[in-house]
Chain A
Amino acid sequence: MGRSARTTRRGKGLKLNNNLFKKALSNPLALAGFIIIVLVFLLSMLSPLIAPYDPNDINVKAILLEPTAQHWMGTDGLGRDVLSRMLHGGRISLLVGLVAVGISTAIGILLGAIAGFYRGWVDTFIMRLVDVMLSIPSFFLILAVIAFLTPSIINIMIVIGLTSWMGVTRLVRAEFLSLSEREFVTASRTLGAKDVRLIFTHLLPNSLTPIIVSAVLGVAGAVLMESGLSFLGLGVQAPQASWGNILTDGKDYIQFAWWLSLFPGLAILITVLGYNLLGEGLRDALDPRSGHGN
């Protein structure tokens, strides 16, 4: 159906992303997702200003206090203020999410572009590599890699990034395969455009929208992954707070100190939900078959 629509849209490239964004936000769920992300982002970024206490301020006289006016989210096993830790932990979660997705998207674009543009044995090789990577359960792959490295925020970001580029690669390759058959690409090529120019000025800008969608959804996955790793003690290390390790601290006292498990659990849930809603909204707006768009 939308062949001509697609062609025009591709033609406009980046400008269209703007419209897409507007279109996506007209969807109330996507808007909700967007608001959630902005809120979480603001709260996390402003945490040094708005956190009521130092997140690592230990007070052994105030351990495991229930939520009160002084400690809105109670205190943990070392008397640290959970709200302050949640706010600081949010920064870590978002940082890990964004950087990891940045890495995976960069790798994905690079490999996908090479595979989709040059085809042949390079394509076969990269796609088999993707198949191999995809056949390994990624969480266990990450666990195995982390076991050899020292767990730290930087390592976590790199490892998550290095193990989650396969989806983007496939996406970019598919886009490139179909785009490079288009007339405007053939035209540029006939006019003597070099490969690099073709890739960066024609093919890539026209593939950006699906990449953005996958990146937004990828952040949700990375936030979850970081929480999971920190929960297992392989992620962000003490005393640095992250939602995952606050949750771990709460696990032992879940029947007794509910606030230690509830708040980080909710924070992870809401943030991941926010990214997913926004991602879905963008996808709907992008997909001409979804009905919303056209």
Chain B
Amino acid sequence: MISRQLKLVKKALSKRVSVAIVSMLLLACGESSGNKQTSMLNDNKHYLPESGGTLINAMTGEPSGLISMIAGESASSAITSNIFNSLLKYDKNLELEGDLVTNWQISADQKTITFKLKPNLLWADGKPITSADVLFTWQAVIDEKTASPYASDFQLVKKTETPDPLTFSVTYDQAYAPALDSWAGLQILPEHLLQGQDLHTAAFVRNPVGSHYYKLDSWAHGENLKLSRNAHSVLGQAKIDRLITRIIPDNSAQFLELMADNIDAMGLDPIKYSRIIPARPELQQKLALYKELGNSYTYMGFNLKHKPFDDVRVRRAINYAIDKQELIDGVYLGLGINIASPYKPGTRWSNPALTPYPYDPTKAKALLKEAGFTDSNNDGILERDGKPFAFEIVTNQNKEREKSAVLIQRRLKEVGIDVKIRAIEWASFISRFIKTGDFDVVVLGWGLGLDPDQYNIWHSSQQAPGQFNFIGYNNPTVDQLLEQGRLELNPDKRMKIYHEFARVLLEDSPIVYLSAGYGLTAINKRVKGIDDPAPPAGIGHNSQEWYIPAPLRRNEISTH
């Protein structure tokens, strides 16, 4: 399962859907929503767990491929986390446990980890899973040709050994704190099907063979991905026979399908969650709502290579000029938290001493003046060196982000900055703006992992196309803190490092934190066995135990 990988979040919502089905690990520890609704759902007495049935969910974007170390996006990992296993995984309380391994040992000097694979594991095609597959996967992820955004985690491994088919050991130069977490995030690929192939173009990308509960049956482009139970699953059998993920780019079309009973689960936006569904008894009866504080946040990021965003005063001024509370109230209907560090509020990594930039247009104007911006021609827009202060906010077609951009546009206008907004479809947004770095300002989201290490996002070495530091952040202090944090194994000292990191980041203001949003999910009540209240790992942690009682299933035309 995906546990810690940083992901570009296309849509806080679309992620939730997938997440509800697979790896809620990203969204630990949420409050559970309206008990009225969820108690009906958990009325398991009438229906004993039984296997069979089909669960249909929807996603807004199609995965670019099904090797998640390359894709680095939530759409892809939503599918692959049902198909592939990692060496380790997180249990419902977010403690590490074996996924493909029975146990692991850390050497006395903390530099070597030895993993023992479970015996007799098979790939979905019946071939055995061995340490050679793990070695192959490691080689693939660090290979420059793969250009994986996660490579840096694994490049620190100096030596690997596979003394026998069930043993895999890695040695780091120095103790590496996020090591176990990183292995929990790396999905192991089958060597026998991929050796010698280019991972970007291999047919495997669209027709993967994994080891998890499900295997891919078909992928109709632009329509759906159908998964069915993998007879060789290394973790036993899931209850639900088939998972169908329909690709429905339009959120309102998804909602119509949910209401019409054609899909079982989807992520909701705040308006549907707190206005539309509560106002409609027939929907309340049919759907269970879940609300969990996600481990993700929405931000506005500056392209630090472009002027004038290289000037910290300008970045701070803009931060002061944006009213985040207004945005949380207006766009998220209060279902969001104003944050000051890139960590989930309330966790140990989130620095409680930090406070978000308050809304202070006067200060913003003063800072802009200091940076040399004045309104010399009295048109209401500031100028520097005769050039007006104007830029374009680029975002993907996500209602919340578009609305946020409109609110930002208005507030910045008040301090004399002329903002244009451009909302583009996700795939072209990524390929045309993010990967090329050809943007001024983006509004985007980060889905985070459980480990506080955010080297991939902020370290100055992670700026190649396709890597995550696309805003071009380069701060030696932060680089050093991130490097330190990776080496520190003492949790308290580590916490201090990341608190300091968050402090520097806030001061430097390379991004403006807009909101840490809640994951809002609706699941049809025919799906039983969902933990309520959700454990720290979220409702998806036991998705293999979810079941759909036969009387509640849809009438299906069997294709088998």
**Which residues in A have some Cβ–Cβ distance to B below 8 Å?**
56, 58, 60-61, 63-64, 77-79, 147, 150-151, 233, 237-239, 251-256
CA distance A147 to B422 in the complex (A): 12
Are B271 and A64 touching (Cβ within 8 A)? Answer: yes
Q: In the assembled complex, how far is the CB of residue B417 from the closest CB belonging to chain A, in whole angstroms? A: 14
| Closest beta carbon of chain B to A260's beta carbon, Å | 11
- Chain B: interface residue total (CB-CB under 8 A): 31
How many angstroms between the C-alpha atoms of A273 and B126 in the bound complex? 65
For the complex, give the distance between the alpha carbons of A215 and B403 in Å. Answer: 37
Q: Are the CB atoms of A77 and B271 closer together than 8 Å?
A: yes
Secondary structure of the B side of the interface?
A: helix
Contact B276 A58 (CB under 8 A): no
A77 to B421, CA, bound (A): 17
Q: Is the CB of B252 within 8 A of A77?
A: no
Can you name 23 A-B pairs with beta carbons within 8 Å?
A56-B410, A58-B330, A58-B407, A58-B410, A60-B326, A60-B329, A60-B331, A63-B333, A64-B275, A77-B399, A78-B406, A150-B422, A237-B420, A237-B421, A238-B406, A238-B421, A238-B423, A239-B421, A251-B252, A252-B269, A254-B252, A255-B276, A256-B275
B405 CB within 8 Å of chain A: yes
Chain A residues positioned under 8 Å from B255 (CB to CB): 252, 255
B266-280: CB near A (< 8 Å → 1, else 0) gives 000101000110010
Residue of A nearest to B325 (CB): A60
Cα distance, A239 to B250, chains bound together (Å): 21
When distances are taken between beta carbons in the complex, the residues of chain B under 8 Å from A58 are 330, 406-407, 410
Residue B397, interface by CB 8 Å: yes
Q: Would you call B329 and A256 a contact (CB within 8 A)?
A: no
What's the Cα separation between A239 and B405 when bound, in Å? 9
Which chain B residue lies CB-closest to A80? B406
Q: How far is it, in angstroms, between the C-alpha of A251 and the C-alpha of B399 when the chains are bound?
A: 11
| 8 Å CB interface, B256-313 against A | 256, 259, 269, 271, 275-276, 279
- Report the nearest B residue to A56, measured CB to CB: B410
CA distance A61 to B397 in the complex (A): 24
Contact with A along B502-524 (1 / 0, CB 8 A): 00000000000000000000000
Any chain A CB within 8 A of the CB of B251?
yes
- Give bound CA distance, A60 to B336, whole Å: 15
Closest partner residue, chain B, to A59 (CB atom): B330
Q: Is the CB of B330 within 8 A of A60?
A: yes
Contacts of A238 in B (CB 8 A): 402, 405-406, 409, 421, 423
Pairwise interchain contact B252-A252, C-beta atoms closer than 8 A: yes
A interface: dominant SS: loop
B residues in contact (CB < 8 Å) with A: 250-252, 255-256, 259, 269, 271, 275-276, 279, 326, 329-331, 333, 397, 399, 402-403, 405-407, 409-410, 420-424, 428
Nearest 9 pairs of A and B residues by beta carbon: A60-B330, A252-B252, A256-B276, A238-B421, A239-B406, A60-B329, A238-B406, A251-B252, A233-B423
- Contacting A78 at CB < 8 Å: which of B275, B397, B407, B422? B407
Q: Which residues of A contact B275 (CB under 8 A)?
A: 64, 256
Min Cβ gap A162→B in Å is 22
Measured CB to CB, the nearest residue on chain A to B424 is A233
B442 to chain A, nearest CB (A): 16
Residues from chain A with a CB closer than 8 A to the CB of B403 are 77-78
Contact residues in A for B326 (Cβ distance below 8 Å) = 60
A77-B271, A78-B407 known; A252 vs B397 contact (CB < 8 Å): no
Return chain B residues, CB-CB under 8 Å to A151. 422
Chain A residues near B406 (CB, 8 Å)? 58, 78, 238-239
Contact at B330–A79, with CB atoms within 8 Å? Answer: yes
CA distance A58 to B411 in the complex (A): 10
A233-B397 in contact given A78-B330, A239-B410 (Cβ < 8 Å) = yes
- Cα A45 to Cα B406 in complex, Å, equals 25
- Shortest C-beta distance, B392 to chain A (Å), equals 8
Residue numbers in A under 8 Å from B405 (CB-CB): 238
- Tell me the minimal C-beta distance from B298 to chain A in angstroms: 16
In this complex, what residue of A is CB-closest to B277? Answer: A256
A92 vs chain B, min Cβ distance (A): 16
Residues of A near B331 (CB, < 8 A) are: 60
Q: Given the complex of chains A and B, what is the CA–CA distance between A56 and B414 in angstroms?
A: 13
> A239 contacts which chain B residues (CB < 8 A)?
406, 409-410, 421
Q: How far is the CB of A188 from chain B (nearest CB, A)?
A: 53
Smallest Cβ distance from B1 to chain A, in angstroms?
A: 31
What residues on B are CB-neighbors of A253 within 8 Å?
252, 271, 276
B410 to chain A, nearest CB (A): 6
A237 contacts B422, C-beta separation under 8 Å = yes
In whole angstroms, how far apart are the Cα atoms of A63 and B276 in the complex? 13
